[in-house]
Amino acid sequence: MNHRGTRYRPPALAAVLLLLIGTLVGCTRQEHPQWRDGVLAAVPYWNFGTAGLAGQTGRIDTYSPWVYGIAADGTVVPQHPGADTAALRSRPPGTRYVPTVANALDGTFSYGPVSRVLHDPAARARHVRSLIALAQAPHVSGIDLDYEDLRAGDRAAFTALVRQVAAALHARGRTLSVDLFAKDSAAGYAPRNVAQDYPRLGRAVDQVRLMAYDYHWETSGPGPISPTPWVRRVVRYATATIGAGKLVLGMSLSGYDWVGHRGTDRSAAALERAATDRHVPVRWDAAAQAPWYRYRDAQGRRHEVWFENDRSVAAKLALARSAHLAGVFFWLNEGAADGAIWRAAARGGG
């Protein structure tokens, strides 16, 4: 998924989403699906070959490739030529298939197409028909919507669209999930938070994927990506407005290497390897429950790095369990999750 953080920042590519304890089964028109233990893996089209899911086949039962976008006329299309075919080829054996549709093409978000879908009846009708057609393919079990950077004035139209799509998919025995930015109040941190009506969206869909990361981002200056005290506030608000049974908590398995206020987004595994290669000790922030370190490069510039590791992930897994959430998901920018993180996930944070 091309996920963004909860505060203002420029677009960034997202990657692997791993949903722990949250597979949809048995949806009908009259009832929402039930959940069972499992892992949902969502991988962007550029990472199909390097996500490392083959080694985790026993833990994955649902696959959500971040592969579809919205064309100018509102129809659903592959984000990149051949990406849909590649997604099917990369599907782990024995998994359910729930592709993600985003307002993006070639990995770049765009407001124009989703705005037309929300406010032009003809484009909206084409979009809904296109989603239904995708969902009715025999290999598809449901659809995930990742519509980002909406305006505050889109709130009612976005809610109406999600309700319409949910009703259409439920009538056909398919599920619908929606990806939402994290916030700890109704207004949130930006207009895109206002556009997402937590209570009404939560009632309409089968699953809400909460993107609780990028508390600090590329241009914010250094700091923890997903500090546990903030995540706890986010979970408290989301649980009160959506309900724990539909909520899955998002964690970024990535981080940033900052020089001043300019950060470079890299996978958590790569940042941890870099510390080892530079013989730099990784420190632990007890308040944020997050790892970090500093170093100087060959030009003498001071870097500060924050990321996630098995210990920080375990802390948030424990938080999700204590809140009785439906599950958690992970995302990476590139490559595969570190083995220690998989082991932490298998333990459920315990």
Coil vs helix vs strand at 150: coil
pLDDT of residue 298: 96
| pLDDT given for residue 206 in this prediction | 96
Residue 179: beta bridge partners?
209
Identify whether 32 is part of a domain: yes
| Cα(102)–Cα(109) distance, integer angstroms | 8
> Which CATH number do you get for residue 144?
3.20.20.80
At residue 4, the pLDDT reads: 43
Please report which helix (H) or strand (E) contains residue 22, including its range: none
Q: Is residue 223 part of a domain?
A: yes
Strand runs labelled E in 152-280:
175-181, 207-211, 247-252, 254-259, 262-267
Domain of residue 319 covers 17-256+309-347
pLDDT, tens digit (0-9, with 9 covering 90-100), for 104-135:
999 999 999 999 999 999 999 999 999 999 99
Amino acid of residue 2: N
Measure the CA–CA gap between 29 and 52, rounded to whole angstroms. 36
The predicted pLDDT at position 32 comes to: 40
Neighbouring CB atoms inside 10 A of 327's CB total 23
Count of the separate structural domains present in the chain:
1
- Which residues does the chain have with pLDDT short of 50? 2-16, 21-37
Nearest one of 122, 120, 113, 118 to 152, comparing CA atoms: 118
134 within a domain of the structure (yes/no): yes
Place of tokens 């054996």: 93
- Is 305:266 a contact under the CB 8 Å cutoff? no
Q: What share of the chain is helix, strand, coil (3-state, %, to 5)?
A: 35, 25, 40
What is the predicted pLDDT for the residue at 333?
A: 67
pLDDT of residue 346: 74
pTM given for the model: 0.87
The answer as to whether 270 is a domain residue is no
46/85 Cα distance (integer angstroms) = 13
Let me know if residue 300 belongs to a domain: no
